Structure 1
Amino acid sequence: MKDLGSLQYFLGLEVHSTSAGIFLHQHKYIQELITLASLNDGRFVDTPLEVNVRYCHDKGEFLSNPSYIDN
């Protein structure tokens, strides 16, 4: 058996260890997908979501028919 050092990349996940914990992301995988689809020259847009929102499962009402959404 051989020691390969600290874990950095495993099964498409990038792993970063800090004193606060372990952070997993797929930045390299997404960049490869963008290159594969020839979308490197695409423009960036802001995400239309609020930042730092905490959603609760017990607030609000259920949809009457969640399988169908009328646009």
Structure 2
Amino acid sequence: MDPLTIGILGGGIFAGMTAASLVALKGWQGWLELKHFELTHDAADRHLPPAGNRIEMADLRERVRKLEAIAAGIDL
């Protein structure tokens, strides 16, 4: 093989590995930022019940409202 071809292939492989490394580094930094955000903002939401419980409470309130309407003879 020609030394120029080997150099071009080597340079292309090096450039591709560099680009892949930079993309992976950017993803890692984004993941670290997400975890930092979760840790710092978790303390503010500790007094609130989990989202699943809030949804269940809203569902139960809606059911009670409908049952009260049925008991009162109001069509929804």
Shorter-chain TM-score range: under 0.3
The structure with the largest alpha-carbon Rg is: 2
Q: TM-score, normalised by structure 1?
A: 0.26
Which one scores higher on RCO, CA 8 angstroms, separation ≥ 6? 1
